[in-house]
Amino acid sequence: MEERIKAQIRRIVGERNCLEGELDRFGYSYDASFVSLSARHKPEMVVRPATVEEVSHLLSLAYENEIPVTPRGAASGRTGGSIPLAGGLALSMDRMTRIWELDEANMMVTVEAGARTADVYDFCAARGLFYPPDPASWKFSTIGGNIAENAGGMRAVKYGVTKNYVMGLEVVLADGTVINTGGKAIKNVTGYDLTSLFVGSEGTLGIITKAILRLIPMPKKRGTIQVMFAELEEGCLAVQQMLVSGITPAAAEIMDRICLTAVAKHKNLTLDSSFGACLIIEIDGSDEKELERQTKAIRAIAEGLKAFRFNVAQDSKEAEELWAIRRGVSSAIAALAPDRIGEDISVPRSAFPEVVRRINAIAQRHNLTIAVYGHAGDGNIHPSILCNLKNPEEERRVHKAVEEIFDAALAVGGTLSGEHGIGITKKPYIRKALGDEGVKTLRAIKEALDPKGILNPGKIW
Protein backbone atom coordinates (compact mmCIF):
# COMPACT_ATOMS: atom_id res chain seq x y z
CA MET A 1 0.00 0.00 0.00
CA GLU A 2 1.46 3.38 -1.01
CA GLU A 3 2.46 5.80 1.73
CA ARG A 4 0.22 8.53 0.25
CA ILE A 5 -2.80 6.24 0.71
CA LYS A 6 -1.79 5.41 4.28
CA ALA A 7 -1.51 9.14 4.96
CA GLN A 8 -5.05 9.68 3.67
CA ILE A 9 -6.32 6.86 5.90
CA ARG A 10 -4.64 8.44 8.93
CA ARG A 11 -6.39 11.71 8.16
CA ILE A 12 -9.76 9.95 8.01
CA VAL A 13 -9.65 8.06 11.34
CA GLY A 14 -6.76 9.70 13.19
CA GLU A 15 -3.24 8.36 13.53
CA ARG A 16 -3.91 6.61 16.85
CA ASN A 17 -6.66 4.57 15.17
CA CYS A 18 -4.34 3.18 12.49
CA LEU A 19 -2.28 0.18 13.62
CA GLU A 20 0.76 -0.64 11.51
CA GLY A 21 3.19 -2.43 13.85
CA GLU A 22 4.13 -6.03 13.16
CA LEU A 23 2.63 -7.32 16.41
CA ASP A 24 -0.57 -5.27 15.99
CA ARG A 25 -1.09 -6.59 12.49
CA PHE A 26 -0.42 -10.16 13.59
CA GLY A 27 -3.17 -9.76 16.19
CA TYR A 28 -5.65 -9.19 13.35
CA SER A 29 -4.47 -12.12 11.21
CA TYR A 30 -6.57 -14.86 12.81
CA ASP A 31 -9.93 -15.52 14.46
CA ALA A 32 -11.54 -18.29 16.57
CA SER A 33 -11.64 -20.75 13.68
CA PHE A 34 -9.55 -23.88 13.31
CA VAL A 35 -7.71 -22.48 10.31
CA SER A 36 -4.07 -23.54 10.51
CA LEU A 37 -1.22 -21.12 11.12
CA SER A 38 -0.12 -21.42 7.50
CA ALA A 39 -3.36 -19.79 6.39
CA ARG A 40 -2.99 -16.71 8.59
CA HIS A 41 -2.50 -13.41 6.82
CA LYS A 42 -1.55 -10.07 8.31
CA PRO A 43 -3.32 -6.96 7.00
CA GLU A 44 -1.17 -4.10 5.77
CA MET A 45 -2.97 -1.76 8.13
CA VAL A 46 -5.64 -2.01 10.83
CA VAL A 47 -8.15 0.85 10.89
CA ARG A 48 -10.66 1.60 13.66
CA PRO A 49 -13.35 4.02 12.45
CA ALA A 50 -15.80 5.61 14.90
CA THR A 51 -18.57 6.82 12.57
CA VAL A 52 -20.39 5.74 9.45
CA GLU A 53 -18.89 8.77 7.69
CA GLU A 54 -15.39 7.48 8.42
CA VAL A 55 -16.32 4.02 7.14
CA SER A 56 -17.74 5.61 3.99
CA HIS A 57 -14.58 7.65 3.35
CA LEU A 58 -12.37 4.60 3.96
CA LEU A 59 -14.31 2.43 1.51
CA SER A 60 -14.40 5.17 -1.10
CA LEU A 61 -10.61 5.39 -0.89
CA ALA A 62 -10.19 1.61 -0.90
CA TYR A 63 -12.52 1.24 -3.89
CA GLU A 64 -10.69 3.89 -5.88
CA ASN A 65 -7.34 2.20 -5.23
CA GLU A 66 -8.64 -1.42 -5.27
CA ILE A 67 -7.49 -2.14 -1.72
CA PRO A 68 -8.99 -5.24 -0.06
CA VAL A 69 -11.10 -4.55 3.05
CA THR A 70 -11.89 -7.20 5.65
CA PRO A 71 -14.45 -6.20 8.31
CA ARG A 72 -13.87 -7.44 11.84
CA GLY A 73 -16.00 -7.58 14.98
CA ALA A 74 -14.77 -9.61 17.94
CA ALA A 75 -13.16 -12.26 15.67
CA SER A 76 -15.19 -14.97 17.41
CA GLY A 77 -16.18 -16.59 14.10
CA ARG A 78 -15.42 -20.27 13.49
CA THR A 79 -14.91 -20.34 9.71
CA GLY A 80 -12.18 -17.75 9.16
CA GLY A 81 -14.55 -14.97 8.09
CA SER A 82 -12.51 -12.10 9.56
CA ILE A 83 -9.08 -13.30 8.41
CA PRO A 84 -7.67 -10.80 5.85
CA LEU A 85 -6.61 -13.31 3.21
CA ALA A 86 -5.66 -10.61 0.70
CA GLY A 87 -3.92 -8.29 3.15
CA GLY A 88 -5.11 -4.72 2.65
CA LEU A 89 -7.19 -3.17 5.44
CA ALA A 90 -8.57 -4.90 8.49
CA LEU A 91 -11.61 -2.75 9.31
CA SER A 92 -12.23 -3.13 13.04
CA MET A 93 -15.65 -2.03 14.32
CA ASP A 94 -14.61 -2.03 17.98
CA ARG A 95 -15.14 1.73 18.42
CA MET A 96 -18.69 1.72 17.01
CA THR A 97 -20.42 0.38 20.11
CA ARG A 98 -23.22 2.86 20.81
CA ILE A 99 -26.82 1.98 21.56
CA TRP A 100 -28.55 4.79 19.75
CA GLU A 101 -32.17 4.36 20.72
CA LEU A 102 -34.53 2.11 22.64
CA ASP A 103 -38.00 2.50 21.14
CA GLU A 104 -40.16 0.90 23.81
CA ALA A 105 -43.41 1.72 22.03
CA ASN A 106 -42.35 -0.29 18.96
CA MET A 107 -40.18 -2.69 20.98
CA MET A 108 -37.05 -2.04 18.91
CA VAL A 109 -33.49 -1.03 19.65
CA THR A 110 -31.04 0.69 17.30
CA VAL A 111 -27.37 -0.16 17.85
CA GLU A 112 -24.03 0.22 16.14
CA ALA A 113 -22.36 -2.83 14.64
CA GLY A 114 -19.61 -3.02 17.25
CA ALA A 115 -21.98 -3.26 20.21
CA ARG A 116 -21.51 -6.52 22.12
CA THR A 117 -24.43 -8.94 22.01
CA ALA A 118 -24.42 -9.33 25.80
CA ASP A 119 -24.47 -5.57 26.32
CA VAL A 120 -27.49 -5.20 24.04
CA TYR A 121 -29.22 -8.06 25.87
CA ASP A 122 -28.49 -6.54 29.31
CA PHE A 123 -29.54 -3.05 28.23
CA CYS A 124 -32.90 -4.31 26.97
CA ALA A 125 -33.43 -6.79 29.82
CA ALA A 126 -33.08 -3.99 32.38
CA ARG A 127 -36.15 -2.46 30.75
CA GLY A 128 -38.17 -5.67 30.59
CA LEU A 129 -37.44 -6.38 26.92
CA PHE A 130 -35.80 -9.46 25.43
CA TYR A 131 -33.29 -9.81 22.57
CA PRO A 132 -33.21 -13.62 22.17
CA PRO A 133 -30.28 -14.56 19.83
CA ASP A 134 -27.57 -16.09 22.04
CA PRO A 135 -24.59 -17.49 20.14
CA ALA A 136 -22.07 -19.28 22.33
CA SER A 137 -19.78 -16.25 22.05
CA TRP A 138 -22.55 -13.81 23.01
CA LYS A 139 -20.61 -12.31 25.93
CA PHE A 140 -18.03 -10.84 23.55
CA SER A 141 -19.35 -11.25 19.99
CA THR A 142 -20.73 -8.14 18.27
CA ILE A 143 -24.09 -7.40 16.70
CA GLY A 144 -22.46 -6.66 13.33
CA GLY A 145 -20.68 -10.00 13.35
CA ASN A 146 -23.83 -11.81 14.44
CA ILE A 147 -25.73 -10.25 11.53
CA ALA A 148 -22.95 -10.94 9.02
CA GLU A 149 -22.97 -14.63 10.00
CA ASN A 150 -26.72 -14.86 10.83
CA ALA A 151 -25.69 -16.25 14.22
CA GLY A 152 -27.94 -18.68 16.04
CA GLY A 153 -27.64 -20.01 19.55
CA MET A 154 -29.34 -22.20 22.11
CA ARG A 155 -32.65 -20.34 22.09
CA ALA A 156 -33.17 -20.72 18.35
CA VAL A 157 -35.60 -23.64 18.77
CA LYS A 158 -38.25 -21.31 20.19
CA TYR A 159 -37.13 -17.82 19.28
CA GLY A 160 -35.27 -18.16 15.99
CA VAL A 161 -31.91 -16.78 14.89
CA THR A 162 -30.47 -13.32 14.27
CA LYS A 163 -32.28 -12.76 10.95
CA ASN A 164 -35.63 -13.05 12.75
CA TYR A 165 -34.84 -9.88 14.71
CA VAL A 166 -33.18 -7.60 12.15
CA MET A 167 -35.68 -4.98 11.00
CA GLY A 168 -33.34 -2.58 9.24
CA LEU A 169 -29.69 -1.89 8.52
CA GLU A 170 -27.31 0.94 7.75
CA VAL A 171 -24.78 -0.43 5.27
CA VAL A 172 -21.76 1.07 3.52
CA LEU A 173 -21.31 -0.38 0.04
CA ALA A 174 -17.99 -1.16 -1.62
CA ASP A 175 -17.67 2.29 -3.23
CA GLY A 176 -18.50 4.15 0.00
CA THR A 177 -22.19 4.69 -0.70
CA VAL A 178 -24.32 4.56 2.46
CA ILE A 179 -27.74 2.92 2.22
CA ASN A 180 -30.49 2.24 4.74
CA THR A 181 -32.62 -0.88 4.39
CA GLY A 182 -35.88 -1.86 6.07
CA GLY A 183 -37.08 0.11 9.08
CA LYS A 184 -39.53 -0.05 11.95
CA ALA A 185 -42.60 -0.89 9.88
CA ILE A 186 -43.65 -4.49 10.56
CA LYS A 187 -44.85 -4.98 6.99
CA ASN A 188 -42.58 -3.84 4.19
CA VAL A 189 -42.58 -5.25 0.65
CA THR A 190 -41.25 -2.16 -1.09
CA GLY A 191 -38.75 -3.55 -3.56
CA TYR A 192 -36.29 -6.36 -2.93
CA ASP A 193 -35.66 -7.40 0.68
CA LEU A 194 -32.21 -5.84 0.97
CA THR A 195 -32.10 -6.30 4.73
CA SER A 196 -32.25 -10.08 4.37
CA LEU A 197 -29.67 -9.94 1.59
CA PHE A 198 -27.03 -8.47 3.91
CA VAL A 199 -27.88 -10.77 6.83
CA GLY A 200 -25.51 -13.74 6.52
CA SER A 201 -23.46 -12.13 3.73
CA GLU A 202 -20.22 -12.44 5.75
CA GLY A 203 -18.99 -8.94 4.92
CA THR A 204 -18.75 -9.70 1.21
CA LEU A 205 -21.51 -7.33 0.03
CA GLY A 206 -21.22 -4.32 2.33
CA ILE A 207 -20.11 -3.15 5.77
CA ILE A 208 -22.93 -3.13 8.32
CA THR A 209 -22.59 -0.09 10.60
CA LYS A 210 -25.94 0.10 12.37
CA ALA A 211 -28.97 -2.16 12.95
CA ILE A 212 -32.58 -1.82 14.06
CA LEU A 213 -33.42 -4.94 16.09
CA ARG A 214 -36.84 -6.26 17.05
CA LEU A 215 -37.43 -7.08 20.71
CA ILE A 216 -40.08 -9.09 22.55
CA PRO A 217 -41.32 -9.02 26.17
CA MET A 218 -38.99 -10.72 28.62
CA PRO A 219 -40.37 -14.09 29.81
CA LYS A 220 -41.48 -13.78 33.42
CA LYS A 221 -40.41 -17.26 34.54
CA ARG A 222 -37.68 -19.68 33.46
CA GLY A 223 -36.86 -23.24 34.40
CA THR A 224 -33.99 -25.63 33.66
CA ILE A 225 -34.19 -29.42 33.37
CA GLN A 226 -31.45 -32.02 32.90
CA VAL A 227 -32.32 -35.46 31.55
CA MET A 228 -29.88 -38.37 31.20
CA PHE A 229 -30.42 -41.15 28.64
CA ALA A 230 -28.63 -44.34 27.66
CA GLU A 231 -28.32 -43.27 24.02
CA LEU A 232 -28.22 -40.03 22.06
CA GLU A 233 -31.12 -41.14 19.88
CA GLU A 234 -33.44 -41.29 22.92
CA GLY A 235 -32.61 -37.67 23.74
CA CYS A 236 -33.38 -36.65 20.16
CA LEU A 237 -36.69 -38.50 20.28
CA ALA A 238 -37.58 -36.74 23.54
CA VAL A 239 -37.18 -33.35 21.88
CA GLN A 240 -39.22 -34.44 18.85
CA GLN A 241 -42.03 -35.68 21.09
CA MET A 242 -42.01 -32.43 23.06
CA LEU A 243 -42.41 -30.34 19.93
CA VAL A 244 -45.12 -32.57 18.45
CA SER A 245 -47.07 -32.44 21.73
CA GLY A 246 -47.08 -28.64 21.70
CA ILE A 247 -44.22 -27.98 24.12
CA THR A 248 -41.60 -25.68 22.61
CA PRO A 249 -38.61 -25.36 24.91
CA ALA A 250 -36.63 -22.14 24.87
CA ALA A 251 -33.53 -24.31 24.47
CA ALA A 252 -32.84 -28.04 24.08
CA GLU A 253 -29.15 -28.91 24.08
CA ILE A 254 -27.80 -32.44 23.69
CA MET A 255 -24.38 -34.01 24.32
CA ASP A 256 -23.14 -37.52 23.63
CA ARG A 257 -21.09 -39.87 25.82
CA ILE A 258 -17.75 -38.48 24.62
CA CYS A 259 -18.82 -34.96 25.59
CA LEU A 260 -20.00 -36.10 29.02
CA THR A 261 -16.75 -37.98 29.64
CA ALA A 262 -14.76 -34.89 28.63
CA VAL A 263 -16.74 -32.58 30.93
CA ALA A 264 -16.49 -35.04 33.83
CA LYS A 265 -12.71 -35.21 33.38
CA HIS A 266 -12.43 -31.44 32.97
CA LYS A 267 -14.43 -30.74 36.14
CA ASN A 268 -13.14 -33.76 38.08
CA LEU A 269 -16.61 -35.30 38.39
CA THR A 270 -17.71 -38.92 38.62
CA LEU A 271 -19.85 -40.00 35.67
CA ASP A 272 -22.27 -42.92 35.73
CA SER A 273 -21.09 -45.25 32.94
CA SER A 274 -24.72 -45.90 31.91
CA PHE A 275 -25.17 -42.30 30.79
CA GLY A 276 -24.84 -42.09 27.00
CA ALA A 277 -26.48 -38.72 26.43
CA CYS A 278 -27.42 -35.58 28.34
CA LEU A 279 -30.29 -33.30 27.40
CA ILE A 280 -30.45 -29.84 28.98
CA ILE A 281 -33.74 -28.03 28.50
CA GLU A 282 -34.78 -24.48 29.27
CA ILE A 283 -38.49 -23.70 29.51
CA ASP A 284 -40.15 -20.35 30.07
CA GLY A 285 -43.60 -18.96 30.58
CA SER A 286 -45.81 -16.38 32.23
CA ASP A 287 -46.04 -18.01 35.69
CA GLU A 288 -45.03 -20.97 37.84
CA LYS A 289 -48.11 -22.94 36.87
CA GLU A 290 -47.08 -22.80 33.22
CA LEU A 291 -43.60 -24.09 34.09
CA GLU A 292 -45.10 -26.87 36.21
CA ARG A 293 -47.36 -27.93 33.33
CA GLN A 294 -44.43 -28.08 30.89
CA THR A 295 -42.21 -29.88 33.40
CA LYS A 296 -44.85 -32.54 34.06
CA ALA A 297 -45.34 -33.17 30.34
CA ILE A 298 -41.57 -33.36 29.68
CA ARG A 299 -41.14 -35.76 32.61
CA ALA A 300 -43.78 -38.08 31.15
CA ILE A 301 -41.99 -38.08 27.78
CA ALA A 302 -38.62 -38.77 29.43
CA GLU A 303 -40.01 -41.64 31.49
CA GLY A 304 -41.61 -43.11 28.37
CA LEU A 305 -38.12 -43.22 26.83
CA LYS A 306 -36.64 -44.76 29.98
CA ALA A 307 -34.53 -41.81 31.02
CA PHE A 308 -32.04 -42.57 33.79
CA ARG A 309 -32.26 -39.20 35.52
CA PHE A 310 -34.69 -36.26 35.50
CA ASN A 311 -33.31 -33.29 37.41
CA VAL A 312 -35.19 -29.98 37.78
CA ALA A 313 -33.13 -26.99 38.94
CA GLN A 314 -34.60 -25.61 42.16
CA ASP A 315 -33.09 -22.16 41.88
CA SER A 316 -30.92 -19.99 39.62
CA LYS A 317 -27.71 -21.37 41.15
CA GLU A 318 -28.66 -24.95 40.27
CA ALA A 319 -29.76 -23.83 36.81
CA GLU A 320 -26.38 -22.21 36.24
CA GLU A 321 -24.61 -25.38 37.37
CA LEU A 322 -26.60 -27.45 34.87
CA TRP A 323 -25.88 -25.03 32.03
CA ALA A 324 -22.20 -24.96 32.98
CA ILE A 325 -22.02 -28.55 31.71
CA ARG A 326 -23.12 -27.45 28.25
CA ARG A 327 -21.02 -24.29 28.22
CA GLY A 328 -17.96 -26.26 29.26
CA VAL A 329 -18.24 -28.83 26.48
CA SER A 330 -16.11 -27.06 23.87
CA SER A 331 -13.11 -26.44 26.12
CA ALA A 332 -13.44 -29.87 27.76
CA ILE A 333 -13.40 -31.64 24.40
CA ALA A 334 -10.45 -29.55 23.21
CA ALA A 335 -8.42 -30.81 26.18
CA LEU A 336 -8.76 -34.44 25.05
CA ALA A 337 -6.49 -34.18 21.99
CA PRO A 338 -3.76 -31.97 20.49
CA ASP A 339 -6.18 -30.64 17.87
CA ARG A 340 -9.92 -30.37 17.38
CA ILE A 341 -11.84 -29.70 14.18
CA GLY A 342 -15.27 -28.41 15.16
CA GLU A 343 -17.93 -28.40 12.47
CA ASP A 344 -21.43 -26.96 12.22
CA ILE A 345 -24.11 -28.70 10.17
CA SER A 346 -27.86 -28.30 10.23
CA VAL A 347 -30.45 -30.95 9.33
CA PRO A 348 -34.22 -31.33 9.59
CA ARG A 349 -35.06 -32.16 13.21
CA SER A 350 -36.43 -35.56 12.25
CA ALA A 351 -33.08 -36.42 10.61
CA PHE A 352 -30.99 -35.65 13.72
CA PRO A 353 -30.73 -39.32 14.87
CA GLU A 354 -29.97 -40.56 11.35
CA VAL A 355 -27.17 -38.08 10.71
CA VAL A 356 -25.67 -38.87 14.13
CA ARG A 357 -25.61 -42.56 13.16
CA ARG A 358 -23.84 -41.60 9.94
CA ILE A 359 -21.30 -39.50 11.84
CA ASN A 360 -20.57 -42.41 14.16
CA ALA A 361 -20.04 -44.65 11.12
CA ILE A 362 -17.66 -42.06 9.64
CA ALA A 363 -15.68 -42.04 12.90
CA GLN A 364 -15.34 -45.82 12.83
CA ARG A 365 -14.48 -45.92 9.14
CA HIS A 366 -11.62 -43.46 9.55
CA ASN A 367 -10.54 -44.59 13.02
CA LEU A 368 -11.27 -41.18 14.55
CA THR A 369 -12.97 -39.93 17.70
CA ILE A 370 -15.87 -37.60 16.91
CA ALA A 371 -17.77 -35.97 19.77
CA VAL A 372 -21.31 -34.83 18.99
CA TYR A 373 -23.27 -32.07 20.66
CA GLY A 374 -25.64 -29.40 19.47
CA HIS A 375 -29.03 -27.78 19.42
CA ALA A 376 -31.38 -30.78 19.30
CA GLY A 377 -34.41 -28.54 19.13
CA ASP A 378 -33.51 -27.07 15.74
CA GLY A 379 -31.35 -29.79 14.18
CA ASN A 380 -28.06 -27.89 14.47
CA ILE A 381 -25.22 -30.36 15.17
CA HIS A 382 -21.60 -29.62 16.12
CA PRO A 383 -19.45 -32.70 15.41
CA SER A 384 -15.95 -32.26 16.84
CA ILE A 385 -13.14 -34.38 15.47
CA LEU A 386 -10.38 -35.01 18.03
CA CYS A 387 -7.08 -35.48 16.28
CA ASN A 388 -3.40 -34.70 15.83
CA LEU A 389 -2.93 -32.66 12.67
CA LYS A 390 0.85 -32.92 12.94
CA ASN A 391 0.43 -36.49 11.76
CA PRO A 392 0.05 -36.21 7.94
CA GLU A 393 -1.75 -39.53 7.61
CA GLU A 394 -4.21 -38.62 10.35
CA GLU A 395 -4.73 -35.17 8.84
CA ARG A 396 -5.70 -36.85 5.56
CA ARG A 397 -8.28 -39.00 7.37
CA VAL A 398 -9.65 -35.94 9.18
CA HIS A 399 -10.21 -33.98 5.96
CA LYS A 400 -11.90 -36.99 4.39
CA ALA A 401 -14.15 -37.33 7.45
CA VAL A 402 -15.11 -33.65 7.29
CA GLU A 403 -16.11 -34.06 3.64
CA GLU A 404 -18.20 -37.12 4.50
CA ILE A 405 -19.90 -35.29 7.39
CA PHE A 406 -20.99 -32.57 4.98
CA ASP A 407 -22.16 -35.22 2.51
CA ALA A 408 -24.18 -36.87 5.28
CA ALA A 409 -25.87 -33.58 6.14
CA LEU A 410 -26.75 -32.86 2.51
CA ALA A 411 -27.99 -36.43 1.98
CA VAL A 412 -30.71 -36.02 4.63
CA GLY A 413 -31.81 -32.60 3.38
CA GLY A 414 -29.50 -30.53 5.59
CA THR A 415 -26.97 -27.74 5.02
CA LEU A 416 -23.25 -27.08 5.40
CA SER A 417 -23.76 -24.55 8.17
CA GLY A 418 -26.43 -23.74 10.71
CA GLU A 419 -24.84 -20.68 12.31
CA HIS A 420 -21.09 -20.43 11.59
CA GLY A 421 -21.22 -19.40 7.93
CA ILE A 422 -19.01 -20.52 5.04
CA GLY A 423 -15.95 -18.27 5.32
CA ILE A 424 -12.72 -20.07 4.37
CA THR A 425 -13.22 -23.51 5.83
CA LYS A 426 -16.39 -24.52 3.98
CA LYS A 427 -15.99 -22.82 0.62
CA PRO A 428 -14.63 -25.98 -1.11
CA TYR A 429 -18.02 -27.62 -0.46
CA ILE A 430 -20.46 -24.83 -1.33
CA ARG A 431 -21.05 -26.03 -4.89
CA LYS A 432 -22.23 -29.38 -3.52
CA ALA A 433 -24.81 -27.58 -1.44
CA LEU A 434 -26.04 -24.98 -3.92
CA GLY A 435 -25.28 -26.45 -7.34
CA ASP A 436 -23.71 -24.62 -10.29
CA GLU A 437 -26.70 -22.37 -10.92
CA GLY A 438 -27.05 -21.44 -7.26
CA VAL A 439 -23.39 -20.44 -7.08
CA LYS A 440 -23.71 -18.52 -10.35
CA THR A 441 -26.63 -16.53 -8.96
CA LEU A 442 -24.76 -15.64 -5.77
CA ARG A 443 -21.72 -14.57 -7.81
CA ALA A 444 -23.93 -12.27 -9.87
CA ILE A 445 -25.12 -10.55 -6.69
CA LYS A 446 -21.55 -10.20 -5.44
CA GLU A 447 -20.36 -8.72 -8.74
CA ALA A 448 -23.25 -6.25 -8.82
CA LEU A 449 -22.57 -4.87 -5.35
CA ASP A 450 -18.78 -5.26 -5.29
CA PRO A 451 -17.57 -5.21 -8.92
CA LYS A 452 -13.91 -4.75 -7.94
CA GLY A 453 -14.05 -7.56 -5.39
CA ILE A 454 -12.54 -5.58 -2.52
CA LEU A 455 -14.93 -6.69 0.25
CA ASN A 456 -13.65 -9.63 2.28
CA PRO A 457 -12.03 -11.36 -0.71
CA GLY A 458 -11.42 -15.09 -0.53
CA LYS A 459 -14.53 -15.87 1.51
CA ILE A 460 -17.42 -18.12 0.39
CA TRP A 461 -16.10 -18.37 -3.20
Q: DSSP letters along 144-179, please?
A: HHHHHHT---TTHHHH--GGGGEEEEEEE-TTS-EE
**Exposure letters 227-241 (e unless 16+ CB within 10 A, then b):** bbbbbbbbbbbbbbb
Cα gap 72→225, rounded to integer Å: 37
HSE-CB of 260 using CA atoms within 13 angstroms:
24
Whole-number mean pLDDT of the chain? 95
Torsion of CA 162, 163, 166, 169, to 10 degrees: 110
Cα gap 301→237, rounded to integer Å: 9
18-19, strands of its sheet edge to edge: 18-19, 45-47, 89-92, 69-72
Per-residue pLDDT, 339:
93
Residues in the chain: 461
Q: Kindly tell me if the per-residue pLDDT of 434 is higher than 80.
A: yes
Per-residue pLDDT, 39:
54
Q: What angle do CA 188, 190, 192 make, to 5 degrees?
A: 105
Cβ proximity of 150 and 162 under 8 Å: yes
Per-residue pLDDT, 36:
59
Q: Kindly tell me if the per-residue pLDDT of 76 is higher than 90.
A: yes
Q: Kindly tell me if the per-residue pLDDT of 37 is higher than 70.
A: no
Q: Phi and psi of 371, rounded to 5°? A: -85, 145
pLDDT range class, residue 111, cuts 50, 70, 90: very high
Cα gap 3→413, rounded to integer Å: 51
The predicted model gives 124-147 an average pLDDT of: 95
228 Ramachandran zone, left/alpha/beta (phi>0; psi -120 to 50)? beta
Residue 282, classed as helix, strand or coil, is: strand
Number of Cβ within a 10 Å radius of residue 127: 11
Q: Phi and psi of 177, rounded to 5°? A: -65, 135
Per-residue pLDDT, 66:
98
235-271: per-residue pLDDT in tens? 999 999 999 999 999 999 999 999 999 998 888 878 7
**Residue 161 one-letter amino acid:** V
**Exposure letters 78-88 (e unless 16+ CB within 10 A, then b):** bbbbbbbbbbb
Cβ proximity of 75 and 31 under 8 Å: yes
